[in-house]
Chains A and B, each alone.
Chain A
Amino acid sequence: MGGGGLSFINLRDKVVQVKIVYYGPGRCGKTTNLEYINRKFREQIQSEMVSLKTHGDRTLFFDFLPFHMGQIKGYDIKIQLYTVPGQVKYNATRKLVLKGVDGIVFVADAMEKQREKNIRSLNQLHENLQSYKESIFKIPLVMQYNKVDLKDHGIPVLPISVLQQDLNSRLQVPYFEASAITGYNVAATLKKIISSTVVSIQKKLL
């Protein structure tokens, strides 16, 4: 067994457990993504979503949602979706949740006033991954620019070109504009991160 203790493959039962973490600044919509997935894909989810929240309904530790993907090359793929707490003061717990991560969705808040927070959160993700000897440039990563629906309600939203420039100019990873509350591109984001992660695990096994 390797020191990393990453994605776990059981050769006898042919099960691969894949850990995907939704990361991003506070109130960007990470939990909302998981809640939508939990409602929309009920038949692929065998158990209840676990949420460790504060009294104010903010994520305290993580949300957890096991998601059944079916089989790839005879292996049963069990996806474990996690969120991290977004609040600045909870970096210690964010780091704990990132342990053994196989793929990341970075949820950015497209509201104009959140511009700085997105950048700071992404920088911290970079540092947190380094502490596990992982690289943000190597790990499967998908960007989600959430809350784009707010522009229809007169709330200033950053253009995608600005978000791309701020967050994705060096990473160059797949990105989606989305609205977690309405479900717009939530499934597309999920599908993309699952496929990138599974491909990356397959490569490492060969």
Chain B
Amino acid sequence: MNYGIVNQEQLEQIEEILFQKLIKLGVDCAIIIDMAGNIITVKDSGKSKYDIYSFAALAAGNFATVDAMAKLVGETEFSLLFHKGQDSNIHFSKIDDELLLISMFGRDISLGFLRLNVVEAIEQIQKVWEQQE
């Protein structure tokens, strides 16, 4: 059995990436979870107060469901998801087979701009992750 263990240095690097790429842009909350629903790290703007543990469990379930649907229609995966609300939106993007980046943001950020930044953040996070392996 493999255990996911993140060390302090890695976490700080990843949090810095989330801050530079997403929080500075105006994202309310950026969360990295694994596909089992565990929270790896959270960075927020200080304004949001979400129940992140329940959120992570539901988000992992949601993503797993969509993944299963992708296979049913012959896709290998749907690597990103976007839920649009009136005042808040949620963007999900796969980092790798085990990790998911979730960004929650309001009306003042455009989806396109967010997506560009998410892609860059993910590339940087993947590099940090590789250092360990």
Which residues does chain A contribute within 8 Å of B8, judged by CB atoms?
11-12
Q: A96 contacts which of B65, B132, B133 (Cβ < 8 Å)?
A: B65
Shortest Cβ gap from A90 to chain B (Å): 12
Which residues does chain A contribute within 8 Å of B51, judged by CB atoms?
46-48
CA distance A156 to B11 in the complex (A): 56
Q: Which of B19-27, B30-38, B78-86, B108-116 contacts A (4 or more CB under 8 A)?
A: B30-38
Taken residue by residue from 73 to 98, chain A's Cβ proximity to chain B (1 for < 8 Å, 0 otherwise) reads as 00000101010000000001100110
A-B residue pair count with CB separations less than 8 angstroms = 115
Which residues does chain B contribute within 8 Å of A64, judged by CB atoms?
37, 54, 57-58
B57 touches A80 (CB 8 A): yes
CA distance A112 to B5 in the complex (A): 45
Total chain A interface residues with beta-carbon distance under 8 A: 37
B6 touches A11 (CB 8 A): yes
Contact of A169 with B by CB under 8 A: no
Interface on chain A toward B: helix, strand, loop, or mixed SS?
A: mixed
Contact of A99 with B by CB under 8 A: yes
Q: A100 contacts which of B6, B7, B37, B132 (Cβ < 8 Å)?
A: B37
Shortest Cβ gap from A17 to chain B (Å): 4
Contact of B70 with A by CB under 8 A: no
Interface on chain B toward A: helix, strand, loop, or mixed SS?
A: mixed
Shortest Cβ gap from A135 to chain B (Å): 10
Which residues does chain A contribute within 8 Å of B38, judged by CB atoms?
5, 7-8, 17, 19, 80, 100
Q: Give the residues from 61 to 104 in chain B that come closer than 8 angstroms, CB to CB, to chain A.
A: 61, 64-65, 68, 97-99
Shortest Cβ gap from B72 to chain A (Å): 10
Contact of B48 with A by CB under 8 A: no
Beta-carbon nearest neighbor of A82 in chain B:
B57
Which residues does chain A contribute within 8 Å of B5, judged by CB atoms?
1, 9, 11
Which residues does chain B contribute within 8 Å of A92, judged by CB atoms?
68
Beta-carbon nearest neighbor of A7 in chain B:
B3
CA distance A17 to B4 in the complex (A): 10
Q: B4 contacts which of A6, A78, A134 (Cβ < 8 Å)?
A: A6
Contact of A103 with B by CB under 8 A: no
Known: A96-B68, A100-B37, A205-B3. A3 touches B98 (CB 8 A): yes
Shortest Cβ gap from A140 to chain B (Å): 11
Q: A2 contacts which of B2, B12, B39, B64 (Cβ < 8 Å)?
A: B2
B3 touches A61 (CB 8 A): no
Shortest Cβ gap from A149 to chain B (Å): 31
Residue positions of A touching B, CB distance < 8 A: 1-12, 17, 19, 46-48, 50, 52, 61-62, 64, 66, 78, 80, 82, 92-93, 96-97, 99-101, 134, 201, 204-205
27 A-B residue pairs with Cβ-Cβ distance under 8 Å, sorted by A, are A1-B133, A2-B3, A4-B1, A4-B4, A5-B2, A5-B36, A5-B98, A6-B1, A6-B2, A6-B3, A8-B34, A8-B36, A8-B38, A9-B5, A10-B40, A11-B7, A12-B8, A19-B38, A47-B51, A48-B54, A50-B57, A50-B58, A62-B61, A66-B54, A80-B53, A82-B57, A96-B68
